[in-house]
Amino acid sequence: MAVKWTGGHSSPILCLNASQEGLVASGAECGDLMVWGEDGTPLGHTHFQGADDVTSVLFSPSCPTKLYASHGETISILDVRSLKESLDHFHVNEEEINCLSLNETENLLASADDSGTIKILDLEKKKVSRSLKRHSNICSSVAFRPQRPQSLVSCGLDMQVMLWNLQKARPLWITNLQEDEMEEMESPQSPGQLLNPALAHSVSVASCGNIFSCGAEDDHKLQALEAQFKELDFTMDNLTQKFEYHSKTLANQAAQDELWTAVLSLKFTSMELNILYSYVIEVLICLHTRVLEKLPDLVRGLPTLASILRRKVKNKHIRDVWESVLEEYGLQEGDITALCTFFVAHGNKAEHYIDKVRRMYIRDVNFMITNMVKNQALQDGLLKAVQVVEKGKAVRVSEEQKSPLEELIPSIKS
């Protein structure tokens, strides 16, 4: 049932917006702004200085009493409980503003104006973070995409619809409604039928963020651009995934380079190096032995720890057992990477010391590692190795077992 609300404005109404609490704000010509209750009762009224038309009003989704309003080239932030004074105001546009839009996180406010420019206002820093100018005529409407706080759509009287990503100053995608109009005019039409130019006045984005529609001046023109929009969105998601993958790859490579540099630049004496090597080798042997205990059928196929590390990539069963062994000893993949790097770098010249010999030379190996090893990944790996051995979870290797020890560890070549 339609209800007519009266008794508010004395000039033509230009814009409306409703809050989640049922309040309605209306902006009119000559700087008039009203707030209404859900039953149509006027709750507040203000008149902006300068008598510029109120062209856009917008409630904050997270704070129902906060209202954004554009009048002339100015944006005012108001509290609907007290409209007489603005909470804040911004003069960032050069010409009259036509539309306001908030992103989902409510840290960015977009304002489209008659110059064809879209200003992106950072509400936290209270300054313009982006100025998007590609429309050659009035930019009539702008809308942020739900679920994508850095993406928005705009349209204007240049008959163009544009998709923007705020990480770039240029639109990701443009469609010209006039070109689509000309294609339609080539098809059969009624004699004497006239088509208005496709001046775009309004754009709206669905809640999924993947579909939007544009209202053009021709009454029969409503552009549904779902297919192109989805295709572009799919392409952008793929590029984002590839970028993230390459970023992770580069980060991993940088971490490996730092680890190798740290291992090769260690300033230990040969005796100290032998002690660290002894802890490392005992833990690696222990891991290999424990995996074989859990996979007795694969003993012949996993002769070295290197074979386990290689085959676990493609064999889920081996990978699951390997991860359970690491968890059993409180180790992580990063620790193993550090220990294996140390072994490859120093295994060909280091000598294994049994526990009694180690204790004769160094009382506190943890103190030595903490003070001498600056690379965090290498330091953590060596400390974990000492911890595993000292708790008795690693095998104790006597001097008589030195020969079998060398057989269990893969050579540097392999």
Residue 29: exposure state from Cβ atoms within 10 A (0-12, 13-18, ≥19): middle
- Quote the pLDDT of residue 414: 37
Angle at 92 between CA 90 and CA 97, to 5 degrees: 95
Q: What is the pLDDT of residues 326-363, one digit of tens each?
A: 999 999 999 999 999 999 999 888 999 988 888 888 88
Mean pLDDT of the chain: 85
Q: Do the beta carbons of residue 341 and residue 309 sit within 8 Å?
A: no
Q: What is the pLDDT of residues 39-50, one digit of tens each?
A: 889 999 999 988
Q: Is the pLDDT of residue 393 over 60?
A: no
- Quote the pLDDT of residue 391: 83
| 33 Cβ contact list (under 8 Å, min separation 6) | 25, 26, 27, 45, 46, 47, 48, 54, 57, 69, 71, 78, 83
Which parts of 116-275 are beta strand (E)?
117-122, 127-133, 139-145, 148-156, 160-165, 173-176, 200-205, 212-216, 222-224
* pLDDT top residue among 280 and 237: 280
- % of the chain beyond a pLDDT of 70: 86
Cα Rg, the chain, nearest whole Å: 35
- Quote the pLDDT of residue 180: 56
The 13-18 sheet, strands edge to edge: 13-18, 24-28, 32-36, 42-47
> Is the pTM higher than 0.85?
no
Q: What phi and psi values does residue 318 have, to the nearest 5 degrees?
A: -65, -40
- Quote the pLDDT of residue 193: 43
